[in-house]
Amino acid sequence: MTDFKNAKQSLTTYSVKELNQSIGLLISRGFAPKFILKATVSKSQIKKGHLWLTLTDGKASVDGVAWSSTIKSLKFLPKQDDGVVIVGKLNFWESQARVSVQVFDIRPSISTVLKKFEVVKLKLLKEGLIDDSLRRKLPKYPHSVAILTSVPSSALADMLRTSKERWPLTKLQIIPIPVQGNNENELKSILNRLKKNKLKLDALIIARGGGSREDLMLFDSEIIAREIATFPIPVITGIGHEDDLTVSDLVSDHRSATPTAAIVDLLPSREIEKSNFLTNKKRLKDYLKLFFQNQKNFLSTKKTFFQSHSPQLLIKNKRIKINYIYKLMNALSPEKLLKRGFALITNESGDSIYSVKNIKEKDKLLVQFYDGKISAEVDSLNYDRI
């Protein structure tokens, strides 16, 4: 009793309310207005429009709350077992002496992002939606292309500038979309409307500029991945940085490292095409020149052939040959010989006598001269010695 009396005289006396107020004052003075908390959600539920959380690190736990006014601006609503990074402040409930974390912003931790990526990836792999053989070729000269990205954004500005430099003939349809947060239903609705292809698109680009891997979680959505995998025209993704890989990249027809790279991969380069055109033009010119030269040579050869085998020339050559033969035969004809003093001698049978040995005395002979014939009888035979 003595100790209690002494303590009562030396110690400060509080009511419960006063004690809780003092604790609250100490907490407000000793803690920064805002801080970052890394935790895992062990419980998540919405009551009366507010998000109530139980946050833990495996060794301790603390309550958290995001008021309905804050939920509207949150880009991520965590589920049980999600790793999170929270921007918040301490709330102390004086009436109950209870501490909680008031949430101003909440983002998924990288472990949560990678976990979701692996889960959705594995599911789509089993269904055969992630398969390189399903990837379609990009159109070589697209006439109309839709760009789905945040508007305005530096990524869009770079894409428009690059497209103008590379291939200004392609018509670009700019379609604003959410690029992060819990907006998969809105993005799904946009993709569903585009599937009807009333814009007569040749290809579709889904682009999002750089950011943390956590900011790209929307593109790990199973819902969005299925929409891309079943899209009727080629889909190109240019999401985040070169090292970032999302599920949307895996199911797209072509994955580009960045939004600007998506334009480069899809649109032809007018400088390269111009160079190719000039090269092909020269090749065609050279080919035609060689072709016509060969045809000219061919026709010239044919002309020479036909000239050397023309009927007139053949008749002329035949005529010359006949004339030559005629003259030769005329020169060697018996009449010519007879005119020169020769005579043709035949026996009574009409056989030509060309040797003394073929006749004998008293034979009757017929002697043919140039201008007539005579009959003769052999009186004697004189043989020349050879």
> Two tokens at 315?
């008749």
pTM of the full structure: 0.66
One fold for 2-108 and 113-268: no
Q: How far apart are CA 375 and CA 368, in angstroms?
A: 9
Q: How far apart are CA 64 and CA 82, in angstroms?
A: 14
**Could you tell me if 150 and 156 are in contact, meaning their C-beta atoms sit under 8 angstroms apart?**
yes
Kind of pairing, strands 98-108 and 61-66? parallel
- Tally of CA atoms within 13 A in the half-sphere of 17 that contains its CB: 0
Cα distances (angstroms) measured from residue 283 to each of 72, 155, 256, 289, 369: 64, 40, 34, 10, 84
φ and ψ of 197, to 5 deg: 55, 45
Q: What is the pLDDT of residue 1?
A: 53
Q: Which of 90, 94, 101, 121 is nearest to 16 (CA)?
A: 94
> Could you give the 3-state DSSP secondary structure of residue 366?
strand
Domain 2-108: state its class. mainly beta
> Could you give the 3-state DSSP secondary structure of residue 87?
strand
Q: What is the pLDDT of residue 339?
A: 76
What distance, in Å, lies between the first and last C-alpha atoms of the chain? 193
**What residues does each domain of the chain span?**
2-108, 113-268, 343-377
| C-alpha torsion angle, residues 325, 330, 333, 336 (rounded to 10) | -150
**Could you tell me if 254 and 265 are in contact, meaning their C-beta atoms sit under 8 angstroms apart?**
yes
113-268: CATH topology is Rossmann fold (3.40.50)
Buried b (16+ CB within 10 A) or exposed e, 224-240: bbbbbbebebbbbbbbb
Q: How far apart are CA 158 and CA 269, in angstroms?
A: 16
Residues 6+ apart with CB under 8 A from 307: 313
Residues of the chain short of pLDDT 70, as ranges, are: 1-10, 385-386
Q: How far apart are CA 103 and CA 86, in angstroms?
A: 7
| C-alpha torsion angle, residues 162, 163, 167, 171 (rounded to 10) | -170
Q: How far apart are CA 31 and CA 50, in angstroms?
A: 24
Sheet of 344-347: strands edge to edge?
344-347, 364-368, 373-377
Q: How far apart are CA 259 and CA 150, in angstroms?
A: 11
pLDDT-above-70 percentage for the chain: 97
**Could you tell me if 204 and 104 are in contact, meaning their C-beta atoms sit under 8 angstroms apart?**
no
